[in-house]
Amino acid sequence: MRDRMELTGARVVLPSGVVDNGTVAVEGHRIAEPAGGPGLDLTGHWIVPGFVDIHVHGGGGASFSSGDGAESMKVIDAHRRHGTTTMLASTVTGELGDLARQAASLAELVEQGELAGIHFEGPFISPHRCGAHQPGLLRDPDPADVRKLVDAAAGTARMMTLAPELPGGLDSVRLLAEQGVIAAVGHTDSTYDAVREAVEAGATVATHLFNAMPALGHRAPGPIAALLEDERVTVELINDGTHLHPSVLELAFRAAGADRVAFITDAMGAAGMGDGMYPLGPMEVEVKDGVARIHGGPTSGSIAGSTLTLDTALRRAVTVDGIAVEDAVKALCANPARLLGAYDRIGSLEPGKDADLVVLDEGFTLVGVMRKGEWVVRP
């Protein structure tokens, strides 16, 4: 028999709900049926599935935009220690040639099973909502250029964020959908009607909803209303206490429903680190009191991603925002797993799936992480 262990006595979050005094059995790298064998007593703890982050740029003092495999592994390792067992690597706006080279490097890590794919954020975004992206490097989403980046990823591109109102935007959304790449609406100055057109064309994700897009208006509802109301759209939320007010988070959960929310970090290199200066693509970012902002240039002072890790997002959701544990876990695990087409392997603690799990104490502070049956952080 392959190595087997049973984690017993914990409150376990399953698709059917919370099970008190539950057991999670692991055999090899898979979840197994409990059989009453030798166990690790986790009474007083929670066990939840490993987190899935579909939008992360960096962490641990490193960045995916470096194009360096060793540095990218630093990002992966930093977030794994905080419970993220599956992630997409997000790029930052740059020259097309640079982004293609980054994609080639990241594709190797996808092939090795370290990453679930690549997310291109920019350069096909609005100059009016560019946030931490360098304005001089932005361009319209010409389908030929979009195709160049998808091809450079050699089958590992999973998502691309673009502004659909720009010339070529809708054609690019259609192209991405045809290629099996998730088209995400973000960093956009779109109207309500333009976003509805984008969703009809195949867009299925709202990149960090509310951030880098027009505010919700009562006469001109803009992109937020269109993205919240359509059942085909998964909405990303950055739950770090800086990007969104708790009441706005609650609004999103009520409007979209818990099955359509995906918590993300949008983390840059300072995630898991301290205050200081960090690179974000070609930009310099200053982190002060845990908040990252562009330092210098035309977008100086703009929020530049986050320093968030998903264990903090979960703890805040439950203890500050009043989100039910089951709903918070959906947003961290099942929903992004389904979006990636990987729910048959990850996203819940069911027999046969990868043994990816997180152990939390009673206050929802992380104390253990397992990925594919191996402890990353031992409780």
**Binding-site annotation: residue ranges for Zn(2+):** 121, 187, 208
> Parallel, antiparallel, or unpaired for β 46-49 and 4-14?
parallel
Candidates 139, 135, 162; CA nearest to 300 is 135
Q: Which of 53, 240, 266, 321 is catalytic?
A: 266
Q: Can you say which residues are annotated as belonging to the binding site for substrate?
A: 132, 211-212, 219, 243, 303-305
Q: Can you say which residues are annotated as belonging to the binding site?
A: 121, 132, 187, 208, 211-212, 219, 243, 303-305
Catalytic site includes residue 266: yes
Q: Which residues have a catalytic role annotated?
A: 266
